[in-house]
């Protein structure tokens, strides 16, 4: 494996996690150059390996065992299979923890303590260890022992109450976000937390224990909707694509397709009015300020829809771009990767995969001038690096075969 030159190239991460939230944090750290060792169950591995179709195709066009879901969150890692239930496996994990800076795990609260792999046990071995536990509900509270998935937390955490079309309209009713956003944001918070603990350790020499709960993350990221409620005592409701605080922002139909309009301030609204030849709207007291536009959006939106439908989509986007008014198409995922800006930023990359094909990967959005990120290795096959990692720990070939025969790896 080519040594990384990223800003975390000096950091080792022991990734005991699976599914999405904590593995996403591990992938961020790998993108930043950390050495990330992913511990997986012998014979099965991370659950997401089987979450398909679709699966990566081999050179003959046949499905491999690598699901797209798994490939989305595990690049740049090394995979070693270890049975946590067996004493030999527990010994391996402890040896890896002794060499690690960070441990990521997302087992139910209390599970790893049964194997002697909890935070207290591993920090006796390595006091400098930063131990990050990611769970659905955290290490405390009445739900601490319960499992959770993104869909459940989107519902419990209020996100689905403000996502989707208005009740009573076609398509109305609660909707989850189209990507597992709680998992992703939890992974982001976990990555930020371990990096903060790492910076603190550089000052104190002492590691830390971090407790990240998906429900906490969802409550925190209710953001403006939460504060809207807290300052008004009015419960936010689903409002389709219309923004609750800034207007006009919505989907509008042109003569040949839909566009989104995002007016963020009064100056942009004035320029929008100029493009439509409706300068009188700027001085209309119903629309003169954002607060008034929010209060009177029904009237304004009706006027805007009459204007939009007279334009062809591309001509209107070009006119509003020239005027400095944010407006754009609603791209499919396929359209996204054809977009010239996305191409220019190198957001789609292909990396050699152990199955013998080049696997597609979505690039990291992080850009560093002084320590540029390298394209990371493809997500590993199950146990792809077991022999190499155990060899680095001092196990001989005979030892490794004995462990494999005992079902410990």
Q: What is the mean pLDDT of each run of 10 residues along the chain (409 residues)?
A: 73 97 98 97 96 95 96 98 98 98 95 96 97 97 95 98 91 93 98 98 96 98 97 94 92 95 96 97 96 96 97 96 96 96 96 96 94 90 98 98 97
Contact 323, 274 (CB under 8 A): yes
Contact 294, 287 (CB under 8 A): no
Which one of 101, 183, 216, 250 is the catalytic residue? 183
Domain 249-332 has CATH 3.30.1540.10: yes
Q: How far apart are CA 93 and CA 84, in angstroms?
A: 8
CATH class, domain 12-220+342-405, is: alpha beta
The model's pLDDT over 92-133, given as tens digits with 9 standing for 90+, comes to 999 999 999 999 999 999 999 999 999 999 999 999 999 999
pLDDT on residue 253? 96
Q: How far apart are CA 398 and CA 386, in angstroms?
A: 14
Q: How far apart are CA 261 and CA 251, in angstroms?
A: 6
pLDDT on residue 2? 45
- Which residues partner with 39 through β-bridges? 80
Alpha helices in 126-264 (DSSP H): 150-156, 181-204, 214-220, 223-232
The model's pLDDT over 241-270, given as tens digits with 9 standing for 90+, comes to 989 999 999 999 999 999 999 999 999 999
Rounded-to-5 percentages of helix, strand, coil across the chain: 40, 15, 45
CA 247 to chain centre: 28
pLDDT on residue 4? 52
Alpha helices in 221-349 (DSSP H): 223-232, 266-276, 280-283, 290-295, 297-308, 313-323, 333-336, 340-344
Q: Is the pTM of this model over 0.75?
A: yes
- Domain parsing of the chain, residue ranges: 12-220+342-405, 249-332
Q: How far apart are CA 264 and CA 289, in angstroms?
A: 11
Among the listed residues 251, 247, 90, 219, the one whose alpha carbon sits nearest the alpha carbon of residue 153: 219
Q: Do domains 12-220+342-405 and 249-332 have the same CATH topology?
A: no
The answer to whether residue 167 is catalytic is: no
């Amino acid at each position: 494996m080519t040594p990384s030159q990223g800003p975390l190239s000096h950091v080792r991460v022991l990734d005991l996690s699976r599914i999405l939230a904590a593995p996403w944090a591990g992938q961020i750290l790998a993108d930043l150059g950390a050495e990330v060792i992913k511990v997986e169950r012998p014979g099965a591995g991370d659950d997401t390996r089987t979450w398909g179709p679709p699966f990566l195709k081999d050179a003959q066009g046949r499905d491999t065992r690598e699901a797209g879901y798994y490939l989305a969150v595990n690049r740049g890692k090394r995979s070693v299979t270890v049975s946590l239930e067996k004493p030999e496996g527990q010994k391996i994990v402890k040896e890896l923890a002794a060499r690690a800076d960070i441990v990521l795990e997302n087992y139910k609260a209390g599970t790893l303590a049964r194997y002697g792999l909890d935070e207290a046990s591993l920090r006796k071995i390595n006091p400098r260890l930063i131990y990050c536990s990611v769970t659905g509900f955290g290490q405390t509270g009445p739900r601490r022992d319960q499992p959770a998935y993104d869909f459940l937390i989107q519902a419990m955490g209020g996100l689905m109450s403000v996502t989707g079309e208005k009740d009573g309209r076609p398509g109305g009713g609660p909707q989850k976000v189209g990507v597992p956003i709680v998992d992703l944001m939890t992974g982001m918070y976990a990555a930020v937390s371990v990096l903060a603990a790492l910076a603190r350790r550089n000052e104190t020499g002492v590691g830390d224990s971090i407790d990240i709960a998906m429900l906490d993350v969802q409550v925190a990221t209710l953001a403006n909707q939460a504060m809207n409620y807290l300052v008004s005592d009015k419960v936010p409701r689903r409002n389709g694509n219309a923004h609750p605080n800034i207007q006009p922002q919505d989907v509008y139909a042109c003569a040949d397709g839909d566009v989104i309009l995002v007016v963020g301030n009064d100056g942009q609204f004035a320029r929008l009015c100029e493009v439509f030849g409706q300068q009188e709207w700027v001085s209309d007291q119903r629309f003169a300020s954002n607060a008034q536009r929010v209060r009177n959006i029904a009237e304004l939106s009706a006027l805007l829809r009459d204007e939009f439908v007279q334009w062809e989509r591309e001509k209107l986007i070009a006119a509003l771009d020239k005027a400095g008014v944010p407006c754009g198409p609603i791209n499919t995922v396929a359209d996204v990767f054809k977009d010239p800006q996305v191409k220019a930023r190198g957001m789609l990359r292909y990396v050699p995969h152990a199955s013998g094909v080049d696997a597609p990967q979505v690039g990291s959005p992080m850009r560093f001038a002084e320590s540029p990120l390298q394209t990371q290795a493809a997500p590993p096959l199950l146990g792809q690096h077991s022999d190499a990692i155990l060899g680095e720990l001092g196990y001989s070939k005979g030892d490794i075969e004995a462990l494999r025969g005992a079902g410990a790896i």
